[in-house]
A and B are shown apart, each in its own frame.
Chain A
């Protein structure tokens, strides 16, 4: 099959695919030989406008008209003339029109782009996706034109500075993410991070150098993914980018839990097992966790921690009576010792006005508060050092002379003390307590400690001292003090009268002491207070004032109405200070559980006790240079064998357990640290059940609420199982320590033993308990379901 050849026309131009314009008559096969020029003008027009445009004749005599279709076309008899054809309109060649189309597309696109950039709403066009709800809401207050630059500082300037966007993120979010090291993994400071990862795979260090030291927010929190996108969603792969010890899932290969749930410092010595089996069991009451552990509401709902209810709700039904009973007779803060009558005659001793009712031989008990007050007097140190641990003068049996010496010394000190009190009132107490404490600590007291001292002396009525001095020692105070408080002088005889009526009651009270120290009752005292103790401080101090005033009112009332003999404690049924003229004592009647004054005293004593323990441990070492000059001098001037320091150590060691009525410390574990007050400024935290800082985001997070909805988990013991291997109960521990009381370290030992017991009360959780539900196809098994990336500042100790 061959193609008939074109006629031999050696001058016919070859079709040129490169020309831009094609003759307008080409479609009719009548294209002129020359064709249009580069600008698309018809050649005929250009040459001569007068000539007809149609020049369509075959320019070569054709030899093969039959075979040439084009030639046939040209020689058609009905070939239209140029007038029929109209003027030649050159057409674009196909490649040229394609090129023009491309150009037009480019120009159009550029135009649209420029137009949309210049529009005020151009952000809407160029934003690569909607913001999340929260961010969008914030930005909705701004002008559209300003929105981008709020988060993209580089967008409208030519300066390219690194990481500025992160600063903008943190500027808004630092309120709930306060740490400055937010940009490093788990908020670990860079130096620590380098130390931690030094041992890691060097390859990881190599490729992770940038990421380790600085990760930007946008690496995990990706914006512009629509309103409902979860910015905080982080995939497991993201976590495993750094974590070299990889594992498949929680069920497969997750490292075993160590000490989880976290052992927070429990302040209440509550033996769950004993309560369940023994105490609730005997009363046929069901032991339900939910009775005490309820979910916090409102402001109390901190994170996911289940709170415990307060004492009134949880414990008072069993323990309140016992506490009330223990404090019914008040607490003898100060009680005169008995001396020989001869001593009062001896003017040289300065005991001339010693009450006659306290002249039946060297006898009496010097309680802890009194000792603390006396210890401030340098003269008394030596005397106090002679005292036995329990403060009973009778126990100094070895040498009668020595007992007399001690008793006389004490009596002198007390006389001085009482006079000082009568003159200066609460200030004298404060002075003495501060002096004792600073001597013990070897430093000045901190603000919180001073406040504690304030709380101790708060409510101590000064006119009681004047009355005391007047009625016990007969020597009237100076007229100045009388004028200062005329009420006191009026009240004093009345109180003296009432004093004798109280004798029997007091005796009977003292006989009840054995009952009050009943172990079983005391160990039941799980004194649970809520954290509103501080808040109650003002109220309780008011109450203290009221009781004082109430006492005065009673005194007034007694003038008006026939006097009814009342026992001292009954005068202050709601709590308060009063004089026991019969036994020559200053007593304090607590108002039951959570008495602020008593709490302050207990805390103060615990503080001293803890310090003493700490220092006795280091007592073999040389005395620290921080020791005050006075203390050093005192050591020099001391008897020689026993330094005042050691004396004071001995003084308070025995005190703690029994110093405070109501056995606060049997349930409230106060002295758990070396210096508890320093760890937290909030002293009330010693009394609350848990001490967890609210602003800490731990590495592991847990929310009880969703778990408790599961029937299987509604019983807390699914996760929190009693440690069966802990054979002994807390009560036994207490008993064991009680025996050691005389050894001189009862309280501290008890605290430590109790803490240890509580720490082991429940066994650690195992991964399997979680992964039973948290596995593929079950509940979420993502890293971030349990772990926080951003952790609190002091929450984790990574260097471990």
Chain B
């Protein structure tokens, strides 16, 4: 099926389900029924459905269909669950425990939305970088580039063109090659430092002779390589961290939902 058709269909089904839930809530309220029980169970079932994705992921050998199809279902069911969640909670949320539960759900839902967006955008950014490196390899490559840069800088000092390049390396480039990037960069990878370092290197041209300039160009390309590695690393770790948060909170969520359900049924006044 065409991707666009599938998306339209899934969205329609999701919105239809949400509308159905809203109608159900209205219908129940009109009959003095307990609407929160209805939305609660809907939420519980759909949340349980969300857990199916991790179940599918953990069992490779079963013939349960493709993970991508499951992810689609997961996404739309998550949208549905989030909207039902809004119907379920009273506003403002009262009670410390309920507040924790609601905020946990909200965090999971929001991280899920962020993930679905980043799953689309991160690959595009990564593909634009050129050479693709896996995140496990990057530290090694980073170390290699740093070592090369260091050797090159030492070498340039021996050419007898003065210590200009070596000094510059010492002051500006060494910290760049040897250290990790700041947390802000890891959160929002950008090209600010790369551009600044390249400009500074470019400015050195007038003080260097041929060999020095060759080293300078080589250093510039190393800066680019290092920055590309950092960029890829930041993008990938960012995605993985967000996914870790999303996944880690689900079990807390499951526990709290369990307690919530038990409490509700233990304390329900309107037991029929």
Q: State the Cβ distance, B89 to closest chain A Cβ, in Å.
A: 11
Interface residue A298 (Cβ < 8 Å from any Cβ of B): no
Determine whether A435 belongs to the interface, using a CB cutoff of 8 Å to chain B. no
Could you tell me the distance between the alpha carbons of A243 and B231 in the complex, rounded to whole angstroms?
A: 66
Interface residues, chain A, CB within 8 Å of chain B? 1, 3, 15, 22, 26-31, 69-70, 72-73, 76, 78, 94, 97-98, 101-106, 108-110, 113, 116, 124-130, 148, 151-152, 154-155, 160-166, 207-208, 210-211, 214-220, 223-226, 237-238, 240-242
Chain A residue at smallest Cβ distance from B259? A113
Q: A15-B134, A69-B144 are in contact. Are A78 and B267 (CB under 8 A)?
A: no
- Is there an interface contact between A106 and B255, defined as CB atoms closer than 8 Å? yes
B249 in contact with A105 (CB, 8 Å)? yes
Q: Are B266 and A154 in contact (CB under 8 A)?
A: yes
Q: Residue B270 contacts which of A128, A160, A219, A238 (CB distance < 8 angstroms)?
A: A219
CB distance B141 to A69 under 8 Å?
yes
Task: Determine the chain A residues whose CB is within 8 A of the CB of B151 once the complex forms.
Answer: 78
CA distance A475 to B251 in the complex (A): 113
> Please, which residues of chain A bring their CB within 8 A of the CB of B130?
1
Say if the beta carbon of B160 comes within 8 Å of chain A: no
On chain A, the residues within 8 Å of B243 by CB distance are 98
Closest chain-B Cβ to A454's Cβ sits at a distance in Å of 54
- The closest CB in chain A to the CB of B254 belongs to A106
A selection of 10 A-B contacts at a CB cut-off of 8 Å is: A69-B141, A76-B147, A98-B248, A106-B252, A116-B97, A130-B94, A155-B267, A223-B269, A238-B32, A241-B29
User: Which residue of the partner chain A has the closest CB to B240?
Assistant: A94
Interface bracket on B: 35 or more
A171 to chain B, nearest CB (A): 14
- The answer to whether A124 and B94 have CB atoms under 8 Å apart is no
**Given contacts A109-B255, A128-B98, A160-B271, are A28 and B139 in contact (CB under 8 A)?**
yes
Contact between B266 and A152, CB atoms less than 8 A apart: yes
B98 nearest CB neighbor, chain A only: A128
Select A124's contact among B96, B134, B140, B143, beta carbons within 8 Å.
B96
Q: Are A29 and B140 in contact (CB under 8 A)?
A: yes
Which residues does chain A contribute within 8 Å of B271, judged by CB atoms?
A: 154, 160-165
Interface: B87 (CB within 8 A):
no
The interface residues of chain A, by DSSP majority, are classed as helix
Could you tell me the distance between the alpha carbons of A105 and B251 in the complex, rounded to whole angstroms?
7
* Residues A22 and B136 in contact, CB atoms below 8 Å apart: yes
Residue among B29, B139, B259, B267 having the largest count of chain A Cβ atoms under 10 Å: B267
Residues of B within 8 A of A217 (CB): 269
Contact B94 A224 (CB under 8 A): yes
User: CB of B30 within 8 A of chain A?
Assistant: yes
Q: Is the CB of A109 within 8 A of B252?
A: yes
In this complex, what residue of B is CB-closest to A217? B269
Task: Report the separation of the CA atoms of residues A225 and B92 in the bound assembly, to the nearest whole angstrom.
Answer: 9
Q: B252 and A101: CB pair below 8 A?
A: no
- The chain B residue sitting closest to A27, CB to CB, is B139
Q: How far is the CB of B122 from chain A (nearest CB, A)?
A: 15
Q: How far is the CA of A791 from the CA of B144 in the complex (A)?
A: 87
List the 8 shortest-distance A-B pairs measured between CB atoms, nearest first: A29-B140, A129-B94, A27-B139, A109-B252, A106-B251, A218-B269, A128-B95, A165-B269
Q: Assuming A94-B240, A113-B259, A226-B94, is B144 touching A26 (CB within 8 A)?
A: no
Q: Whole-angstrom distance from the CB of A222 to the nearest CB of chain B?
A: 9
State whether B248 touches A105 (Cβ < 8 A): yes
Chain A min CB distance to B77 (Å): 20
B256 within 8 A of partner (CB) = yes
Contact A29–B251 (Cβ < 8 Å): no
B256 touching A109, Cβ below 8 Å: yes
Q: Given contacts A98-B243, A225-B94, A226-B94, are A210 and B139 in contact (CB under 8 A)?
A: no
Min CB distance B263 to A, Å, is: 6
B94–A128 CB distance below 8 A: yes
- Contact with A26, one of B139, B247, B263 (Cβ below 8 angstroms): B139
Most buried by A among B30, B32, B266: B32
| Partner pick for A155 among B29, B32, B266, CB 8 A cutoff | B266
The reply to whether B141 and A154 form a contact with Cβ atoms under 8 Å apart is no
Q: Judge whether A237 and B244 touch: CB under 8 Å.
A: no
Question: A29-B144, A154-B266 known; 4 other A-B pairs, CB under 8 Å?
Answer: A73-B147, A108-B252, A130-B94, A151-B269
Nearest-CB residue, chain B, relative to A22: B136
Q: Which residues on the A side are within 8 Å of B256 (C-beta)?
A: 109, 113
Nearest-Cβ distance from residue A235 to partner chain B, whole angstroms: 9
Query: In the complex, which residues 141-160 of chain B have their Cβ closer than 8 Å to any Cβ of chain A?
Result: 141, 143-144, 147, 151
Q: How far is the CB of A20 from chain B (nearest CB, A)?
A: 13
* Bound Cα distance from A161 to B131, whole angstroms: 68
Contacts of B251 in A (CB 8 A): 102-103, 105-106, 109
Return chain A residues, CB-CB under 8 Å to B139: 26-29
Complex Cα spacing A78 to B148, Å = 10
Interface residue B171 (Cβ < 8 Å from any Cβ of A): no
Q: Is B197 an interface residue, CB under 8 A from the partner? A: no
Question: CB-CB < 8 A to B137: which residues of A?
Answer: 29
* Residue among A1, A3, A102, A238 with max Cβ neighbours from chain B (10 Å): A102
A211 touches B95 (CB 8 A): no
**A76 partner residues in chain B, CB cutoff 8 A:** 144, 147
Please, which residue of chain B has its CB at the minimum distance from the CB of A3? B131
Residues of A within 8 A of B61 (CB): none
- A162: chain B residues within 8 A (beta carbon): 271-272
Given contacts A27-B140, A162-B272, contact A101 B32 (CB under 8 A): no
Judge whether A127 and B272 touch: CB under 8 Å.
no
> Does B218 have its Cβ within 8 Å of any Cβ on chain A?
no
Cα of A224 to Cα of B29 in the assembled complex, Å: 19
Q: Which of B95, B134, B250, B267 contacts A148 (CB 8 A)?
A: B267
Bound Cα distance A240, B30 (Å): 7
- CB distance B30 to A237 under 8 Å? yes
How far, in whole Å, are A215 and B252 apart by their CA atoms in the complex?
37
Give the Cβ gap from A6 to chain B, nearest Cβ, in Å.
Answer: 12
- Does any Cβ of A come within 8 Å of B52's Cβ? no
Return chain A residues, CB-CB under 8 Å to B98. 128-129
Contacts of B269 in A (CB 8 A): 151-152, 165-166, 216-218, 223
Name A29's contact: one of B131, B134, B143 (CB within 8 Å): B143
B31 lies within 8 A of chain A by Cβ: yes
Docked-complex contact B272 and A110, CB < 8 angstroms: no
B118 CB–A CB distance under 8 Å: no
In angstroms, Cα B251 to Cα A487, docked, is: 104
Report the bound CA distance from A102 to B248 in whole Å. Answer: 4
A220 to B251, CA, bound (A): 35
Cα A207 to Cα B30 with chains together (Å): 11
Identify the interface centre among B95, B97, B248: most chain A CB within 10 Å of its CB.
B248
In the assembled complex, the Cα of A275 lies from the Cα of B271 at a distance in Å of: 60
Contact with A along B72-115 (1 / 0, CB 8 A): 00000000000000000010001111100000000000000000
Q: Say yes or no: A210-B272 contact (C-beta < 8 A), given A22-B136, A128-B98, A152-B266.
A: yes
B135 at the interface (CB under 8 A from A): yes
Chain A residues near B244 (CB-CB < 8 A): 97-98, 101-102
Chain B residue at minimum C-beta to C-beta distance from A218: B269
Name the A residues within 8 Å of B31 (CB-CB). 207-208, 211, 241
Cα(A140)–Cα(B256), bound, Å = 28
* Minimum CB distance partner of A1 in chain B: B130
Instruction: Indicate the member of B96, B140, B141, B240 with the most A CB atoms within 10 Å.
Output: B140
- Residues of A contacting B141 in the complex (Cβ-Cβ under 8 angstroms): 29, 69
Task: Find chain B residues with CB under 8 A from A226 CB.
Answer: 94
